[in-house]
Structure 1
Amino acid sequence: MSNPDSFIEEVTEEVRRDRLFGLFRKYGWIGVLLVLGIVGGAAWNEWSKSRAEARAEAFGDALIDALDLGSPEERRAALAAIPADGQQGAILNLILASDPKADQPATLAALDAIIADASLPVSYRDLATLRRVLVAGAGMELADRRSALQAIAAPGRPYRTLAEEQLAYLLIEEGQTEAAITALQALMQDQEASGALKARAGQVVTALGGTPPEASSG
Structure 2
Amino acid sequence: MANQNDSFIDEVSEELRRDRLHAAFRRYGWIVLLIILAIVAGVAFTSWSNARTEARAQAFGDAVLAAQAAPDPAAALAEVPADTPERRAMTLMLAADARLAAGDRAGAAADFEAIAADAATPALPRDLARLKAVLARGSDMDPAARDQVLAELSAPGAPFRLLALEQKAVALIEAGRRDDAVTLIRQIQQEQGLTRNLSERLSQLLVTLGVEPLPGAGATQPAAEAVPAPAPAD
TM range (shorter): 0.7 to 0.9
1:17 partnered with 2:13: no
What is aligned with 1:35? 36
What is aligned with 1:112? 117
- In structure 1, runs of 5+ residues without a counterpart are none
1:187 partnered with 2:196: no
Q: Quote the sequence identity (%).
A: 41
- Conservation of the 8 A alpha-carbon contact between 2:139 and 2:171: no
**TM-score between the two structures when normalised by the length of structure 2:** 0.73
Give the SS at the match of 2:170: helix
What is aligned with 1:89? 88
Report the Cα offset of residue 84 of structure 1.
0.2
- Conservation of the 8 A alpha-carbon contact between 2:189 and 2:199: yes
Note the 1:126-145 alignment, pairs <5 A.
126-138=127-139, 140-145=141-146
Give the SS at the match of 1:167: helix
Could you list the per-position Cα deviations for residues 157-201 of structure 1 after superposition, in whole angstroms to 9, with x for gaps in the alignment? 443321221122233344432221011123334452222222221
Instruction: Judge which range, 53-62 or 134-143, deviates more.
Output: 134-143
- Conservation of the 8 A alpha-carbon contact between 2:150 and 2:168: yes
Q: Aligned pairs, how many?
A: 209
Larger Rg: 2
Give the SS at the match of 1:202: helix
Instruction: Tell me the distance in 2 between the aligned counterparts of 1:178 and 1:80.
Output: 43
Instruction: Tell me the distance in 1 between the aligned counterparts of 2:139 and 2:20.
Output: 84
Report the Cα offset of residue 50 of structure 1.
1.8
Instruction: Tell me the distance in 2 between the aligned counterparts of 1:112 and 1:199.
Output: 32
- Conservation of the 8 A alpha-carbon contact between 1:97 and 1:108: no
**TM-score between the two structures when normalised by the length of structure 1:** 0.78
Report the Cα offset of residue 121 of structure 1.
6.7
Shift in CA distance, 197/28, structure 1 to aligned 2, threshold 3 Å: same
What is aligned with 1:164? 165
- Conservation of the 8 A alpha-carbon contact between 1:171 and 1:179: yes
How large is the Cα RMSD of the aligned pairs? 2.9
Report the Cα offset of residue 33 of structure 1.
2.2
